[in-house]
Structure 1
Amino acid sequence: MEKHVECLELLAIGKNLPPDLATYAFRAMYTGEMPASCVGAFLMGLKTKGEAAVEIAAGVTTALEQARLVEGLTGPRIDTCGTGGDNTCSFNCSTAVALYLAAMGHKVVKHGNRAVSSACGSADAVESLGFPLVVEPDAVAAELDKHNFVFLFAPNYHPAFKRIGPIRKELGARTLFNLMGPLLNPARPTHQILGVPTSRHVPLMAEVLALTGLSRGVVVHGAGGFDELTPFGPADVCWVKDGWLKKERIDPATLGVSESKLGDVVVSGRDEAVAVLQGVLSGKGPQAMLDMVALNLGCALHLLEDGLTLRQGVDKAKDAIAQGAAAAFFKDVFHA
């Protein structure tokens, strides 16, 4: 029996793939050795069974074998990419968090794409602000040194996905690739805040982060169905530190953030999303948006800065936002 057929047989009876077989299957899919008909069956078999952490980790590690990796980076660097798929049409919170982190002296390698479930994807947002959308792997280090921030446009770094794209489009359903996106950063961040669209994904994705060697991270699912911390109520999170996992529930009220309504962070399209983002980066805009950025920025600072509590991180974030630190730091980049 061919190995890819063996994979399908196991998935058909609801069995998780052992690591070696999962690695084989994903590698065969990326290189084109697995027939297109089997690729579709494989992806839907995983979805129907429910993807296991070891399977997603195998998909990630084999995808990175085919990626245009960024070499030579040293020191802590963070990504704030979420899975998307929460269909909330909210403003670009993770992009705002990334730019505030850079303004505060942290190295940010932001991996992302154009809009999927939001009004304006991270790629659309950074392009509109004035950042280069396509940065070649050998230019990443210089861009990072210049601005503490570099955007890594996913299609430029993962050519193997062009082969799978048409199959995913034909399937029409979300697959594990929608979960894997934030894990495929070619600059291999040491720290990560990763948002997921449902609570059940929190422990699963935290386990995947641990399996793929992340130093410190947190997986979050916020109130209101968001793949970010929100000021609408408690969030489910799982902290990751050197392979250890710790589940927790975070209530914004205990962090000095007042409750607001979901509709306060929604934008209607790209133009509004960019205008709102520019305001937030200057410390202006609806309080709910500023609070949402403060929560996620504070969480990232807690990951990056030893000894800084989560509450202290949020307070520090509020100060930076009140000063419009991101707009001031990037004034030479942003479009007038």
Structure 2
Amino acid sequence: MAMHMADILEQLAFHKDLPQDMANESFARLMDGTMTPAQAGSFLMGLKTKGETAEELAAAVNAALSHARMVPGLSGKRIDTCGTGGDGSSSFNCSTAVALTLAGMGYQVVKHGNRSVSSTCGSADALEALGLNLNLQPGDVAAELARRNFVFLFAPGYHPAFKHIMPVRQEIGCRTLFNLLGPLLNPARPTHQLLGIAIPGFLHRMAKVLSLTGVQKACVVHGAGGFDELTPFGVNQVVYVRDGWLREDVLDPARLGMAASSPEDMAVKDKDEAVAVLREILAGGGPEPMRDMVALNAGMCVHLLEDDLSLADGVDKAREALASGAGEKTLNA
């Protein structure tokens, strides 16, 4: 029996979580464009005011992926280093530096991202400025990954169904669950993931969504200073995900021998500076606080990818790779 939209909205109005079948049906309608704009707006705001559960977010992920252009032919370990954005920090492109450095170390990196919404320079903007192709087709991803250990999947090219949702999001104007979904919708389905989040209240939920949608090992992080990445200037909150299990922890970079720094040390004033700093870091230079931040995040990725390496070992390995200009090798491959 088909569900009526009124019943779904009524459920949300009373702050009741949606049962799985209702969540699945709702997101299927949202993605295929059969919800009216008024219904879609009410649905997204109803979820927001109630508080989205991990199961509801997982239903959204599955519905979105069923409409996505998925990447065929990939095997072996592959990692994504995407954050949700929205931390308002105007910081340099740390996750992009991390991704390119990891690729230079020999790991397969499938980075899913977009142009800037709130930051000075988004991952797509930065990679385009470095000369990478943003319009890679799904069928070309495997060959490019084999050649360079790195691919960038430009989100709008892989999620055509989002055209139904974009006008509604723009009209609502405030945060909805779509501000969280980006890192969860990689069409290359990473086996490993470092996922940064700007809203600490969602840490555990996002970790649970990853475990529900098939990631093998991941770490969901909320950095000191409210960053959606691990930061070297204070204690970070982390949730590890491994084969469906979750473990919460804190990460103090001072215990890894990182010098004191501040959020201001990570800021860039415009896109030109963002790209220039990124080039310096990839070539083995750049300001030390930024290098520390890249080493911390890349080290966490190495720790996730290598079962026998501690976080401290991972950070050491990342520091060596950074000093040798591993990221630049990725660009020149």
Matched, 1:101 2:102: yes
Structure 2 equivalent of residue 261 of structure 1: 262
Matches of 1:130 and 1:99 in 2, distance apart? Answer: 13
CA drift at 1:328? 3.3
Q: Contact 1:100 / 1:326 at 8 angstroms: preserved in 2?
A: yes
- After superposition, give the CA deviation of every residue in 1:62-93 in whole Å (9 maximum; x if it has no partner): 10000000011111100001100101010000
CA drift at 1:2? 4.4
Matches of 2:9 and 2:65 in 1, distance apart? Answer: 23
Alignment map for 1:21-40 (pairs within 5 Å): 21-40=22-41
RMSD in angstroms over aligned alpha carbons? 1.0
Structure 1 equivalent of residue 292 of structure 2: 291
- After superposition, give the CA deviation of every residue in 1:120-142 in whole Å (9 maximum; x if it has no partner): 00000111101101100000001
Structure 1 equivalent of residue 164 of structure 2: 163
Q: Which residue identity is paired with 1:207?
A: K
- After superposition, give the CA deviation of every residue in 1:173-222 in whole Å (9 maximum; x if it has no partner): 11000101100000000000000002211111001101111100000000
Structure 1 equivalent of residue 8 of structure 2: 7
DSSP 3-state at the match of 1:259: coil
List runs of 5+ in structure 2 lacking aligned partners. Answer: none
Matches of 2:91 and 2:5 in 1, distance apart? Answer: 40
CA drift at 1:48? 0.7
Matches of 2:83 and 2:8 in 1, distance apart? Answer: 29
- After superposition, give the CA deviation of every residue in 1:289-321 in whole Å (9 maximum; x if it has no partner): 000000000000000012000010011111111
What fraction of aligned residue pairs are identical, expressed as a percent?
59
Q: Contact 2:149 / 2:330 at 8 angstroms: preserved in 1?
A: no
Q: Which residue identity is paired with 2:9?
A: L
Matches of 2:113 and 2:255 in 1, distance apart? Answer: 31
Matched, 1:241 2:242: yes
CA drift at 1:5? 1.5
Matches of 2:17 and 2:40 in 1, distance apart? Answer: 17
- After superposition, give the CA deviation of every residue in 1:16-48 in whole Å (9 maximum; x if it has no partner): 111110000000111111111100000011111
DSSP 3-state at the match of 2:229: coil
Q: Contact 1:120 / 1:273 at 8 angstroms: preserved in 2?
A: yes
Structure 1 equivalent of residue 316 of structure 2: 315
Matched, 1:189 2:179: no
Structure 2 equivalent of residue 224 of structure 1: 225
With the length of structure 1 as denominator, give the TM-score of the two structures.
0.97
Q: Contact 2:48 / 2:177 at 8 angstroms: preserved in 1?
A: yes
- After superposition, give the CA deviation of every residue in 1:271-292 in whole Å (9 maximum; x if it has no partner): 1100010011112111110000
Distance 1:11 1:101, change over 3 A: same
Structure 2 equivalent of residue 121 of structure 1: 122
DSSP 3-state at the match of 2:193: strand
Matches of 1:216 and 1:230 in 2, distance apart? Answer: 21
Matches of 1:2 and 1:328 in 2, distance apart? Answer: 54
- After superposition, give the CA deviation of every residue in 1:83-120 in whole Å (9 maximum; x if it has no partner): 00101010000000000010000001000000012100
Structure 2 equivalent of residue 47 of structure 1: 48
Matches of 1:299 and 1:110 in 2, distance apart? Answer: 16
Structure 2 equivalent of residue 85 of structure 1: 86
Matches of 1:328 and 1:39 in 2, distance apart? Answer: 45
Aligned residues: 332
Q: Which residue identity is paired with 1:313?
A: G
Matches of 1:4 and 1:85 in 2, distance apart? Answer: 31
Q: Which residue identity is paired with 2:145?
A: L
Q: Which residue identity is paired with 1:26?
A: F
CA drift at 1:269? 1.1
Q: Contact 2:194 / 2:219 at 8 angstroms: preserved in 1?
A: yes
Matches of 1:28 and 1:242 in 2, distance apart? Answer: 30
Q: Contact 1:3 / 1:21 at 8 angstroms: preserved in 2?
A: no
Matches of 1:25 and 1:111 in 2, distance apart? Answer: 25
DSSP 3-state at the match of 2:226: coil
Distance 1:170 1:329, change over 3 A: closer
Structure 2 equivalent of residue 301 of structure 1: 302
Matches of 1:279 and 1:324 in 2, distance apart? Answer: 9
Matches of 1:77 and 1:234 in 2, distance apart? Answer: 28
Q: Contact 2:3 / 2:22 at 8 angstroms: preserved in 1?
A: no
Q: Which residue identity is paired with 1:79?
A: D
Matches of 1:3 and 1:70 in 2, distance apart? Answer: 34
CA drift at 1:256? 1.6
Q: Contact 1:96 / 1:281 at 8 angstroms: preserved in 2?
A: yes
CA drift at 1:329? 4.0
Which range moved further: 278-287 or 234-243? 278-287
Structure 2 equivalent of residue 211 of structure 1: 212
CA drift at 1:324? 1.5
CA drift at 1:322? 1.3
